[in-house]
Amino acid sequence: MWGIIFAASLIILSFVYPSEFLINLFTQILIMGLFATSLNLLVGYTGMVSFGHAGFFGVGAYTAAVILQKYSTSVGFAFGTTIVFSAIAALIIGSFCIRLGSIYFAMLTLAFNQIIYIIVIRWTDMTGGDQGLIGGIPLPGFLSTQRAYFIFTVIVVAASLVICKLVVDSPFGAILKVIRENADRAYSLGIRVKSYQLIVFVMAGIFGGISGALMSLSISGAYPDFCYWAKSAEPIFMVVVGGMNSFLGPLLGAAIFKILIAYSTMYTNLWGLIIGGVLVLIILLVRKGLADYVMEFVAARSVDGPKNLLSPKKTG
Amino acid sequence: MKILEVQHLNKSFGGLQAINDLSLGFEEGEMSSIIGPNGAGKTTFFNLLTGYLRLDSGKILFKNQDISKLPNYKIGRMGINRSFQISHVCPSLTVFENLRASILSKRKKTFKFFTNVGGMKDIEDEVMSSLDDINLKDLAGTPATQLPHGALKSLDIGMALAMDPQIALLDEPTAGMPSGDRMRIMDLIQRLWKQKGLTIVFVEHDMDVVFAFSQKIRVLNYGSLIADGTPEEVSQNPVVIEAYLGDED
């Protein structure tokens, strides 16, 4: 419900205050917000820290871009294919990665991320190699203006977030948290941990892919650095700064990240320093994501008796 | 009828023979204990029974079916559920959420992706009644990390018992507790055992607890069974006295 209101107000705002700069900025924020939220299904909800999430962003970006540019099909078909390809990639990569725990899982996701990057660089005929897929991506008339594409992004991102939210609030989502907290115990309760990990990995891959597709269509091209391993650090920053224990934390993190970059690059080319500085400050001073901090502050102040017992605040 | 039985079980870690040609069985409906000095192989035995460790040789029969090659989650689903020596709960989840994991799994509701788990009234009722069983209803909303030690142990045991196990294996249910609390938690386990007609096996160091709450006692030493009988029989067994009880008192 709040999602629809938020989405509608964003759309209305784009008419009331039609700034190209802001519309573009918010499009980027929403796309990266979905990307970070999809990663947080793994990091925050299941406790699987993936360093290779940009791989799926790249798979999605190139799939949609290639399909639209070379085969000029409909946008719907391009997104459908993106979902299928991201899911297949995640299924293959996931079934290897989930065999390993913690740091080895992280390293393996990183390795697969690099494999995807190499494929993109080498498969020049299809991807344009290290130059990127240039020459523009044809979009149908109804998406040709920046505002139209913004509205499209709002709808796709909102729908994706609603699906993610439903899943994390479902019994499946409840079990994911149990796995995050104590996978060893989960087994003794008859829970086949690996199945849950694989399913959520594929889900994260699909939504990572969708965000990649939104990005390549928004800037009318796909580039290898979409799936360079360093790109995987961006959603991790967003998740950490925004808050991994709040559903909208990663979206907030994406907003902070993109706004910081947008404004700091106006004054300096040392924006990396600013991003790094913010990360250090938040980790040292707040010690949790900003959204988590706010949620806990509010929860600590609300006293509505036993009802609170069943919808408890999360800690740490 | 023996609900769970092991035959010629062996397990070694490197050169250490942790379980050595062990054969024994548990009667359905019995509340029994396993005792033995540190390193006797008690926890290893539980880990073998629940699929957390693979045996080297031998057989584990659950209702006459060999389960020795099954993965731990399948054994958990069959109704062999355990609690852990060092409490094994989900620390930052609440007491309610911890116990809900057992109920969701038992009711096979875990692969529902789009139902709001907070709205599942039947699950909530069952969680609350299980929490009532272990006297934790008032702490339902407390994160497990904030629980006092005794309540944490109760939760760990409660998560196993909420699965409605065919046989519950409780690894040191009273570890680290002052003696008053020990009796209280054992009373609780005994009450649930009677009430639900469970089969319970527990590992314990406190001899007062062992003799007060066991119908049968099995004594392990160096991974072998050195005595098996009622509390009276075991307390008078010269081998046991020499290996174990003698040092204690």
The per-residue pLDDT for range A285-300, each reduced to its tens digit, is 887 888 888 888 887 7
**Region class of A134: left (phi > 0), else alpha (psi between -120 and 50), else beta:** beta
Res A309: pLDDT = 40
B149 Cβ contact partners less than 8 Å away, ≥ 6 residues apart: B176, B177
Q: How far apart are CA A296 and CA A284, in angstroms?
A: 18
- What's the 3-state SS for B14-69? CCEEEEEEEEEEEECCCEEEEECCCCCCHHHHHHHHCCCCCCCEEEEEECCEECCC
Closest in A172, A192, A309 to B113, CB measured: A172
Would you tell me how many other CB atoms lie within 10 Å of the CB of residue A59? 28
Is the pLDDT at A168 greater than 60? The verdict is yes
Amino acid at A198: L
**Mind telling me how many Å the CA of A222 is from chain B's nearest CA?**
33
pLDDT in tens, A139-148: 888 888 888 9
What percent of chain B lies above the pLDDT cut of 70?
A: 98
Round the CA-based radius of gyration of chain A to a whole number and report it.
Answer: 19
CB contact under 8 A, A193 and B73: yes
Would you tell me how many other CB atoms lie within 10 Å of the CB of residue A110? 19
Give A304's pLDDT tier (boundaries 50, 70, 90): very low
B80 Cβ contact partners less than 8 Å away, ≥ 6 residues apart: B4, B49, B50, B62, B67, B165, B166, B167, B169
Give B231's pLDDT tier (boundaries 50, 70, 90): very high
Burial of residue A248 (CB within 10 Å: 0-12, 13-18, 19+) is buried
Query: Helix or strand or coil: residue A226?
Result: helix
B233-236 own/partner pairs: CB under 8 Å, 24+ apart: B235/B211
Give A271's pLDDT tier (boundaries 50, 70, 90): confident
Res B245: pLDDT = 60
**Length, in residues, of chain B:** 249
The residue of chain A with its CA nearest to that of B127 is: A310
Mutate to test the interface with A, among B83, B113, B128, B164 (most CBs of A within 10 A): B113
Sign of CA dihedral B39, B43, B49, B53: negative
- DSSP-assigned letter for residue B203: E
Structurally, chain B folds into a number of domains equal to 1
B180 Cβ contact partners less than 8 Å away, ≥ 6 residues apart: none
With vertex at residue A201, the alpha carbon angle to CA A10 and CA A153, rounded to the nearest 5 degrees, is: 20
Contacts of B89 in chain A (CB under 8 A): 181-182, 185
Report strand pairing: B31-35 vs B57-62. unpaired
> Are residues B141 and A312 in contact, defined by beta-carbon separation less than 8 angstroms?
yes
Q: Within an 8 Å CB–CB cutoff, is residue A193 touching chain B?
A: yes
Which domain, by its residues, includes B227? 2-248
Would you tell me how many other CB atoms lie within 10 Å of the CB of residue B91? 16
Q: How far apart are CA A310 and CA B98, in angstroms?
A: 12
Would you tell me how many other CB atoms lie within 10 Å of the CB of residue A76? 9
Structurally, chain A folds into a number of domains equal to 1
Would you tell me how many other CB atoms lie within 10 Å of the CB of residue B38? 7
> Are residues A216 and A153 in contact, defined by beta-carbon separation less than 8 angstroms?
no
What percent of chain A lies above the pLDDT cut of 90?
A: 62
Q: How far apart are CA B118 and CA A197, in angstroms?
A: 22
Six-digit token pair at A17? 């205050």
Sign of CA dihedral B84, B86, B87, B93: negative
> Are residues B167 and B79 in contact, defined by beta-carbon separation less than 8 angstroms?
yes
CATH number of the domain bearing residue B91? 3.40.50.300
A206 closest CA partner among A43, A39, A51: A39
The residue of chain B with its CA nearest to that of A162 is: B114
Burial of residue B61 (CB within 10 Å: 0-12, 13-18, 19+) is middle
Please report the beta strands in A26-181, taking only residues with DSSP state E, as ranges in sequence order: none
Res A1: pLDDT = 66
Would you tell me how many other CB atoms lie within 10 Å of the CB of residue B70? 18
pLDDT in tens, A104-122: 999 999 999 999 999 999 9
Mutate to test the interface with A, among B73, B136, B146 (most CBs of A within 10 A): B73
pLDDT in tens, A223-246: 999 999 889 999 999 999 999 999
Give A89's pLDDT tier (boundaries 50, 70, 90): very high
Q: Within an 8 Å CB–CB cutoff, is residue A315 touching chain B?
A: yes
Is residue A284 a part of any domain in this protein?
Answer: no
Is the pLDDT at A308 greater than 60? The verdict is no
Give A71's pLDDT tier (boundaries 50, 70, 90): confident
**Mind telling me how many Å the CA of B102 is from chain A's nearest CA?**
6
Give B246's pLDDT tier (boundaries 50, 70, 90): low
**Mind telling me how many Å the CA of A160 is from chain B's nearest CA?**
13
Is residue A241 a part of any domain in this protein?
Answer: no
What is the arithmetic mean of pLDDT over A52-70? 95
Give A138's pLDDT tier (boundaries 50, 70, 90): confident
Q: Which residues pair with B81 in a beta bridge?
A: B168
Amino acid at B1: M
What is the arithmetic mean of pLDDT over B110-116? 92
Is the pLDDT at B169 greater than 70? The verdict is yes
Is residue A273 a part of any domain in this protein?
Answer: no
Scanning the structure block, which residue is given the tokens 């607890």? B209
Res A312: pLDDT = 41
Res A238: pLDDT = 93
Which domain, by its residues, includes A12? 2-228
- Give this complex's ipTM: 0.91
> Are residues B159 and B98 in contact, defined by beta-carbon separation less than 8 angstroms?
yes
Q: How far apart are CA A106 and CA A53, in angstroms?
A: 10
Q: Which residues pair with B12 in a beta bridge?
A: B17
Contacts of B113 in chain A (CB under 8 A): 166-167, 170, 172
Contacts of A187 in chain B (CB under 8 A): 51-52, 71-73, 76
CB contact under 8 A, A170 and B114: yes
Is residue A198 a part of any domain in this protein?
Answer: yes
- The mean pLDDT value of chain B amounts to 92
> Are residues A289 and A253 in contact, defined by beta-carbon separation less than 8 angstroms?
yes
Q: Within an 8 Å CB–CB cutoff, is residue A184 touching chain B?
A: yes
> Are residues A149 and A143 in contact, defined by beta-carbon separation less than 8 angstroms?
yes
Is the pLDDT at B241 greater than 90? The verdict is no
Amino acid at A186: A
Q: The whole model's pTM is what?
A: 0.91
Q: How far apart are CA A10 and CA A96, in angstroms?
A: 40
